[in-house]
Amino acid sequence: MRVGVIVTVYNLERFVAQAITSVLNQTRPADQIIVVNDGSTDNSLQVIEQFLPHVQLITNSTNQGVLPSVIEAIKLTEADIIALLDGDDVWEADKLQIICGQFEHHANAMMMLHTYQRMDANGAVLAGRDVTQSNLQRIEALKHKQDQDELLKESILSYRGVWLGSALTFRRSYLAVAAFESWSQQIWGHELSHQDQPLAAYLILTNPDAKIQYVHQPLFRYRIFGENSSGSSATLPRAIKTLQRSKATLLRTHQLVTQMPSRVVSLARQQQKLNEISYLEALYEKKFRVAFGLFTKLFFRFWTTQQKAKETVRFAGVFLLGPEKFLSKK
């Protein structure tokens, strides 16, 4: 069993060396390590080059987007198992050993996931659990693996608390990468979309009888810092960019779920999220009449009490202060 690792990097000069080192220090070495420098404008490329020839480097002259970058790297892999790693995260040293053991044990597993720890920009582990970790704990409590597989699929397709990203590992044989790329290119935002959700949803749709396995161990550390957390929406241009990425991702997964007639709950959940993006786009573009219509629909049909309070503050704040000033005060 050959294992390939794909590390994606865009302007991560501070963190990428730690990410690559965590791959090179695996107790079960990777057979191929591809690092994609996706048009970084900082010193990420120079940092990555220090690891040559231990890694295979793909350099995009301009920022192509994480989904196209991952697809290009998949085309170059010679591995049976592909593991993804964001260039600001860190794997635990035994991740590949544990994951490969699980793939060997479960012949019908197309995808392997696991839990994680959160850390700050300096690498200090953060206390407590987020919503995703709480949902994963609920999945862990299931005694029957069949129920676990179904709950994992439903959680992925409904965007309800399953971490993909640096936890996502899959069998290369289950992905028709050329067909996946062609399909994605026909939908708006190919270069804006996240990579993990469309990839996972595509695998679920095209391999209905294959299973998802879950390892009940935190095998990577997810780094939370300004550019990849709430800080990414601290200004209006960043907020719009975040919305565009979410919209591009959702347009792909929504189209896939519409082809799964039994996924009624997931389809409704994704439609809600698309409506939420349309609401925020209208609000930040000061189209207040359109935004208020969507706000009312979401308020009375979908949002929890906590969401209602949060979005009421947002709507009033943007209406009174303007989007730029409101976001700068968050």
Query: Edge-to-edge strands of the sheet including 3-9?
Result: 56-60, 32-38, 3-9, 81-86, 169-171, 109-119, 211-223, 90-91
d(CA 182, CA 193): 14
Sign of the alpha-carbon dihedral angle for 74, 77, 81, 82 = negative
Band of residue 231 on the pLDDT scale cut at 50, 70, 90:
very low
d(CA 134, CA 256): 26
Tell me what pLDDT residue 230 has.
Answer: 44
Strand partners, 85: 7
Q: Are strands 56-60 and 32-38 parallel, antiparallel or unpaired?
A: parallel
Cis peptide before 261 (omega within 30 of 0): no
Band of residue 232 on the pLDDT scale cut at 50, 70, 90:
low
pTM: 0.94
d(CA 278, CA 243): 9
Q: Extract long-range pairs of 41-47: CB within 8 Å, 24+ residues apart.
A: 41/11, 42/11, 42/12, 42/13, 43/13, 44/9, 44/10, 44/11, 44/12, 44/13, 44/16, 44/87, 46/13, 47/13, 47/16, 47/17
Pick the CATH number of 3-228 from 3.90.550.10, 1.10.3720.10, 1.10.287.130, 3.40.50.720: 3.90.550.10
CA distances for 275 relative to 278, 293, 304, angstroms:
5, 11, 15
Tell me what pLDDT residue 144 has.
Answer: 60
DSSP character string of 211-270: EEEEEEEEEEEEE--GGGSGGGGSSHHHHHHHHHHHHHHHHHHHHHHTT-TT-HHHHHHH
d(CA 137, CA 140): 5
Tell which wins on pLDDT, 209 or 135. Answer: 209
d(CA 134, CA 242): 24
**What are the residue boundaries of the structural domains of the chain, listed by start?**
3-228, 230-329
Closest C-alpha among 193, 198, 216, 185 to residue 156: 198
Among 121-125, 256-260, 279-283, 326-330, which stretch is predicted with the lowest mean pLDDT? 326-330
- Residue 128 predicted with pLDDT over 70: yes
Tell me what pLDDT residue 329 has.
Answer: 80
Closest C-alpha among 245, 255, 267 to residue 196: 245
d(CA 325, CA 200): 37
pLDDT in tens, 243-295: 999 999 999 999 999 999 999 999 999 999 999 999 999 999 999 999 999 99
- Residue 190 predicted with pLDDT over 90: yes
What is the separation of C-alpha 116 from the centre of its chain, rounded to a whole number of angstroms? 13
